[in-house]
Amino acid sequence: MQASQAPCSLQIPRTNGLRPGQRSARARPVSSPRSLIMASAVSAPKRETDPKKRVVITGMGLVSVFGNDVDSYYERLLNGESGIKPIDRFDASKFPTRFAGQIQGFSSEGYIDPKNDRRLDDCLRYCIVSGKKALEDAGLPLGSPSLEKIDKVRAGVLVGTGMGGLTVFSDGVQALIEKGHRKITPFFIPYAITNMGSALLAMDIGFMGANYSISTACATSNYCFYAAANHIRRGEADIMLAGGTEAAIIPIGLGGFVACRALSQRNDDPKTASRPWDKERDGFVMGEGAGILVMESLEHAMKRGAPIIAEYLGGAVNCDAYHMTDPRADGLGVSTCIEKSLEDAGVAPEEVNYINAHATSTLAGDLAEINAIKKVFKNKSEIKINATKSMIGHCLGAAGGLEAIATVKAITTGWLHPSINQFNPEPAVEFDTVANTKQQHEVNVAISNSFGFGGHNSVVVFAPFKP
């Protein structure tokens, strides 16, 4: 889903009661050396140095069309594989779009009790498995002494979803219509609401701190990262599990996006359907899964000897205030959001050399994002941009989670995955999109963009960890 770009809040210069052109007798000329030095000192980006407020990534977990292992997931991205196939979960023959990034052969064995597993919506199953795998990656497996030592009151969960338990909801409606209200499962409401993923995960691992969900369509995961990091920065939490989960590849989910006229209809060649920035793109491809990060204060991570993978430097969120589904062509909301994220991170635009783009393969959205990026980053030759969605499809509320993991893996491996299906690129793009073949690239600072229906924009900033 592609939404776009709008201002946060405009900064109106204070006049101190002076008329236009009038200068205070005590005002120093702008050109004076001292004022230039002071202005430079004020505007120079400054990264956080307090170990209580620095936020690091210590674990990553996912469920994806390429499996549930982070390294295998990224290896297949580097190989330029497509996870897009014809839908076989239900009969899609009457739909104009009959393919997606559908997860096949998913197993929650060892992570969810079999009795509960049979009842859960896939949205919840993906959340629980990816969250527990992220904890394992962080050296905090369930039942371990290291997890028991965590102060549970200062440990939270913030996993969002754009659609919630859509299968449970759809089945409940069908039961009501066909059999009456007595046949609705008592799990209908609990498993359909968007906060239950965070709640169930917390129940299993015992985290008693901040716990809720955010639902901002396809910007959801980044909103969760931003909010989770701010809980840590404000001293309210030591450690947070954050990300997104989604499982909407069912008849009502597919039909809804078909009705929006948002999906590609390249049924004759699904693997090439998701083609961001290509002139022949005709809409996005649905995907599903979950991506969750373990985020914690540097101080907390160092005290417990955690494996520090990368650093979260900052982020920003805002709204286009423009249209429910269409992006602003001028990219104003997104460019403002990028600028605010860099400000929050203490990073100058010149330091950024990699962007994991939202890039959904929609006609308007792809170029609107590029226009926004151009507003902020003037030296196009220094930045590489890629599109994870070209291979796994658009995972909606989970997209930012899976793409954040790809971004962090780019930082740690020194390799950028390709944007596949780049056959006839839009000349207006002008950036290196890592077309069709992976590239070696030492990432200095990376940003990951996610935008959602409603005009919701979100940008998060990652970098290699440096003590």
3-state DSSP call for residue 26? coil
Q: Which of 123, 218, 319, 395 is catalytic?
A: 218
Q: Which of 224, 231, 300, 394 is catalytic?
A: 394
Identity of residue 309: I
Token pair of 211 as six digits = 């716990």
Phi, psi of 56, deg, nearest 5: -120, 155
Whether 260 is catalytic is no
Whether 218 is catalytic is yes
Task: Work out the burial of residue 13: count CB atoms within 10 Å of its CB; fewer than 13 is exposed, 13-18 middle, 19 or more buried.
Answer: exposed
Rounded to whole angstroms, the Cα distance separating 372 from 381 reads 16
Rounded to whole angstroms, the Cα distance separating 53 from 289 reads 30
Count of other CB atoms within 10 angstroms of residue 437: 13
C-alpha separations of 414 from 21, 185, 295, 408, 461 in Å = 53, 49, 22, 10, 17
Rounded to whole angstroms, the Cα distance separating 449 from 452 reads 10
Rounded to whole angstroms, the Cα distance separating 6 from 301 reads 36
Spatial CA neighbour of 228 closest among 218, 219, 239, 216:
239
CB distance 281 to 387 below 8 Å: no
Q: Which of 358, 417, 441, 456 is catalytic?
A: 358
Whether 323 is catalytic is no
CB distance 285 to 30 below 8 Å: no
Residue-wise over 15-35: b if at least 16 C-beta within 10 A, else e? eeeeeeeeeeeeeeeeeeeee
Rounded to whole angstroms, the Cα distance separating 458 from 337 reads 7
Which sign does the torsion angle of CA 210, 8, 243, 446 carry?
A: negative
Token pair of 319 as six digits = 């709204």
Q: Report, as residue numbers or ranges, the catalytic residues.
A: 218, 358, 394
